[in-house]
Amino acid sequence: MALPTEVPDNTPVIIGVGQYSERVGEPGYAALSYMDLGGRALAAAIADSAASGNVAGAIDMLAAIRAFEMSRPDRVPPFGAANNVPRAIAKRVGANPARAILTTTGGQTNQQLVGEFASAIAAGDSQCAVIVGAEAISTVLALSAKGEVPDWSEDVPGTFEDQGFGLEDLIEPALFAHGASGAIPLYALAENARRARLGLGLEEYRREIGKLFAPFTRVAAANPHSAAPVERSVEELATVTDRNRIVAEPYPRMTVARDQVNQAAAIIVASAGLARALGVPESKWVHIHAVTAATELKLSERPDLSANPASIASVEAALVRAGKGMGDMRYIDFYSCFAIPVFNQCDHFGLSADDPRGLTLTGGLPFFGGAGNNYSAHAIAEAVQRVRGDRGAFVLVGANGGWMSKYATGIYSTAPADWSVGGRFAKLPKAANAVPASAAPFDRATVETYTINRSPKGDAAIFIGRNPAGERVCGNADLTDPATAAAFEGGWPFGAQLAVVQDERGRNVGRIA
């Protein structure tokens, strides 16, 4: 193995990571904007590098991760935002990158960008690249509740690349029209499909989620950046109460991603040659051994509604490129917006909820916080710190976007990685085995999976199934019908035959046939 001093100049290395957070009402709370939070995280990353030279002045690429409130064309940040988000963050540390980017939507984006930027550095197209993102949703809600409307708009000059929203692989109009229009019900549809495959009742399955996530809460309780630093028992997480109400079957409120956060994180990737020139101590260098990215079929097209083979393919491909196995990973962070992305990895690799390594470095999205599209920057920041303190150890970070729609995996270590031969970053091909869907009216359906959205406005049951031709269809179950309500509320409508009509709004409404 080459010594760090023998690492070629064009080898990409992470030289700095930074996190910044604040909680409403706590000492020092300043109600910072997205841009201010991002600037503080980037400043922390620069300081973390311990460079003697001017890191900010060396940044030639900077990608700003889209905040949630800028992630859809129908969303407008309620307090405004910079017209040029990447350069607004850059100016806060005195940086003026030649290339500034506003990224697409998706929680896998920052992990994938590590691979893309590392490849650019290895090819000589960049010397120092930054990935930075921030969320201020908690502050927005707190100030809005008091009737306060600060002005967070900024007019920042300079060019930037707007990569668009990148929602093409996420939009499913039929599901959206029937009430599955957000992450919670869409993940719940997949979660219940897995529950059916395992033959577990609702209470049994909620306990399995509790067993998975209770160890996450212990990590979150010790993390100073956590939005909810409270240790919870399996029983607290699994038991349905007024405080832990069902948001969509089978999910109690405490077990879904927490988006009410004020968190930011930044990653600086540089060439080894520039790192030397900037005086970054080699003890700070963390090598990028592999990054892979994969795109999944749309939820309604997946042959197995409970599975996410693209995420498995991404992790396996990263391990192969790093020349390692899952057993070689001393640290792991699996994206955990909901239980099923973690369960998918555990099911495939034979990991248990009480794996002694743990399955999160931050505390997970329901407890540390689901910092929008930027959560995995926090995971990578934690990963970097772990391997710096455990020289030669390897860490794996899995990043998920959409509704298990996209996945990117990174493997890191202080052990040097040889980028001269290529192949350490790869985008994997999309599967070609999509189940055909039908948009035509149908009068019969067999239920494959379902969820029930619970809200103050009323409950709505959503199903995905097959019509008599075997095509995928979706609709709403009529909970006013006693037999239908008994099957769906009882938690076991799987395989049920529905008689379906179209209502005045064109929605498919099914009753037990």
Residue 318 · residue 88 · CB < 8 Å:
no
Give the pLDDT confidence score for residue 252 in this predicted structure. 98
Q: How far is CA 414 from CA 185, 267, 321, 454, in A?
A: 40, 16, 16, 47
Residue 69 lies in a domain: yes
Same domain for 89 and 16: yes
Let me know: does 240 contact 454? Beta carbons within 8 Å.
Answer: no
Residue 283 lies in a domain: yes
Same-domain check for residues 400 and 290 = yes
**How far from the centroid of its chain's Cα atoms is residue 72's Cα?**
16
Phi-psi region of 18 (alpha: psi -120 to 50; beta: other; left: phi over 0): beta
Sequential DSSP letters for 197-229: HHT--HHHHHHHHHHHHHHHHHHHHT-TT-SS-
Which CA distances in Å does 377 have to 42, 333, 397, 430?
12, 11, 10, 25
Q: What is the pLDDT of residue 5?
A: 54
Residue 204 lies in a domain: no
92 within a domain of the structure (yes/no): yes
Do 87 and 140 belong to one domain? yes
Same domain, 378 and 476: no
What is residue 509's three-state secondary structure?
Answer: strand
Q: Check: CB of residue 40 under 8 Å from CB of residue 20.
A: yes
- Residues 432, 252: Cα–Cα separation, whole Å: 35
Q: What is the pTM of this model?
A: 0.97
Q: Of 392, 427, 462, which one is at a domain's C-terminal end?
A: 427
Q: Are residues 287 and 373 in the same domain?
A: yes
Is residue 393 located within the same domain as residue 267? yes
Say whether both 263 and 323 belong to one domain.
Answer: yes
Separation between Cα atoms, residue 474 and residue 19, nearest integer Å: 42
The CATH number covering residue 74 comes to 3.40.47.10
By the 8 A CB rule, do 464 and 174 touch?
no
Residue 306 lies in a domain: yes
Q: What is the CATH number of the domain that holds 460?
A: 2.40.50.840
- Determine, yes or no, domain membership for 193: no
What would you measure as the largest C-alpha separation in the chain, in angstroms? 73
Same domain, 276 and 395: yes
Instruction: Give me 474's structure tokens.
Output: 């979706």
* Tens-binned pLDDT, residue by residue, of the chain (513 aa): 444 458 999 999 999 999 999 999 999 999 999 999 999 999 999 999 999 999 999 999 999 999 988 888 888 899 999 999 999 999 999 999 999 999 999 999 999 999 999 999 999 999 999 999 999 999 999 999 999 999 999 999 999 999 998 888 788 999 999 999 899 999 999 999 999 999 999 999 999 999 999 999 999 999 999 999 999 999 999 999 999 999 999 999 999 999 999 999 999 999 999 999 999 999 999 999 999 999 999 999 999 999 999 999 999 999 999 999 999 999 999 999 999 999 999 999 999 999 999 999 999 999 999 988 999 999 999 999 999 999 999 999 999 999 999 999 999 999 999 999 888 999 999 999 999 999 999 999 999 999 999 988 899 999 999 999 999 999 999 999 999 999 999 999 999 999 999 999 999 999 999
Residue 70 lies in a domain: yes
One domain for residues 452 and 328: no
Q: How far apart are CA 331 and CA 329, in angstroms?
A: 5
| Half-sphere exposure for 280 (CA within 13 Å, toward CB) | 30
Domain span at 507: 444-512
At residue 421, the pLDDT reads 84
One domain, residues 406 and 491: no
**Cis peptide bond prior to 4, omega within 30° of 0:** no
What is the reported pLDDT for 171?
85
Tell me, yes or no, whether 243 lies in a domain. Answer: no
Task: List beta partners, residue 503.
Answer: none
Contacts 24+ apart (CB under 8 A), 459-465: 460/179, 461/488, 462/175, 462/178, 462/179, 462/180, 462/185, 462/189, 463/493, 463/498, 463/510, 464/175, 464/189, 464/299, 464/300, 464/305, 465/498
* CA distance readout (Å), 270 to 57, 122, 418: 13, 10, 15
SS3 for 25-44 is: CCCCCCCCCHHHHHHHHHHH
Instruction: Output the pLDDT for position 339.
Output: 98
- pLDDT at site 3: 45
Between CA 390 and CA 417, with CA 132 as vertex, the angle to 5 degrees is 40
What integer pLDDT is reported at residue 166 of this predicted model?
85
If asked whether residues 398 and 463 sit together in one domain, one would say no
Quick one: 263 and 382 in the same domain?
yes
How far is residue 472's CA from residue 268's CA, in Å, rounded to a whole number? 44
| Nearest Cα residue to 135 out of 268, 265, 267 | 265
Instruction: State which of 427, 457, 479 marks the end of a domain.
Output: 427
427, 460, 485 - which closes a domain:
427
335-383: pLDDT as tens digits: 999 999 999 999 999 999 999 999 999 999 999 999 889 999 999 999 9
Total number of domains constituting the chain:
2
Give me the pLDDT at residue 167, please. Answer: 84
pLDDT of residue 168: 84
